[in-house]
Amino acid sequence: MPLTPEQQAEIQDQRAQQGTTRRAISEGMENHLYTAHEVLDHGLIRVIDYMGNDSAITQAARVSYGKGTKAVTNDEGLIRYLMRHWHSTPFEMCEVKFHIKLPVFVARQWIRHRTANVNEYSARYSILDREFYIPKAEHLAAQSVINNQGRGEALTGAEADAVLKYLKDDSEKAYDHYEEMMAEGDDSKQGLARELARMNLPANVYTQWYWKVDLHNLFHFLRLRADSHAQYEIRVYAEKMCEIVKDWVPAAYSAFEDYRMGGANVSERGLECLRRRLAGEEVTQENSGMSKGEWREFEAMIKG
């Protein structure tokens, strides 16, 4: 389980505390505050704090001092206009702070998104828990033959069993040595410094951080990481975030889902191919001017 009974009790205590405020709130996000959403085998996501709602976006766009227009449809229309025309600053008026527990190898992929404020659990000062991400059998896959950073068919039989055994055994052995090197509680040994002992831990050990980001950059993260082509282990975090953001800013998320997640960007060459097809011309990869990779993606976009 991602949470110990003590951690769960602390969260319940936080959720029980209430106070009055003059700031704008989102009822949907209020329901998510401090709630721990489980991800993978030991991971979690929970909202620690947030600022703004759909009205904050339209208010910033109009640079007004009110709550927006009286007609909700006008606000939704403005938000869709802003999303459609790639405006960014109005969406930056909303922010959210997450507490996230995730495997180190996922964190290293995640941190490539450099548009957030991050504070990670320090293994220089504290001892990491004996918790490792061990994939379910259906997520053990071979290397893709067409994508150097993707997966192919799932491993089966004895090969899958062997891989799972290596992952479990090696993780436990590495943690055993981690504890032995630090020699915590053993007065007969000096013990290796925690900041050095941690280098022996595997990349599937769990870490934690606070991740604070504005809505514009969060949408960029979700567009990439909630995509079906993203690595499964980071995608499940992004998909859970999508559920949270949908409750937080429903109008903005609806526009994002329509224009970014469900929409497509087409190159000038791609548009020309579409025009030629609409005119009745037979267009192939050979006469499209596209590479094989571009053509494959173009065809996939059209077919859906």
Contact (Cβ atoms closer than 8 angstroms) between residue 43 and residue 96? no
How far apart (Å, rounded) are the C-alpha atoms in residues 149 and 67? 46
How far apart (Å, rounded) are the C-alpha atoms in residues 275 and 122? 55
How far apart (Å, rounded) are the C-alpha atoms in residues 281 and 178? 65
DSSP string, 169-180: HHHHHHHHHHHH
* Amino acid at the residue 57: I
Contact (Cβ atoms closer than 8 angstroms) between residue 41 and residue 35? no
Can 23 be counted among the known catalytic residues? no
* Amino acid at the residue 260: R
Backbone angles phi, psi at 121, to 5 degrees: -50, 130
How far apart (Å, rounded) are the C-alpha atoms in residues 253 and 194? 43
How far apart (Å, rounded) are the C-alpha atoms in residues 164 and 74? 54
DSSP string, 249-260: SHHHHHHHIIII
* Amino acid at the residue 281: E
How far apart (Å, rounded) are the C-alpha atoms in residues 304 and 28? 31
Query: Could you say which of 23, 225, 269, 277 is catalytic?
Result: 225
The torsion defined by the Cα of 185, 191, 192 and 197, in degrees rounded to 10, comes to: -40
Backbone angles phi, psi at 186, to 5 degrees: -105, 100
- Joined tokens for residue 141: 């896959």
How far apart (Å, rounded) are the C-alpha atoms in residues 146 and 282? 26
Active site residues: 225
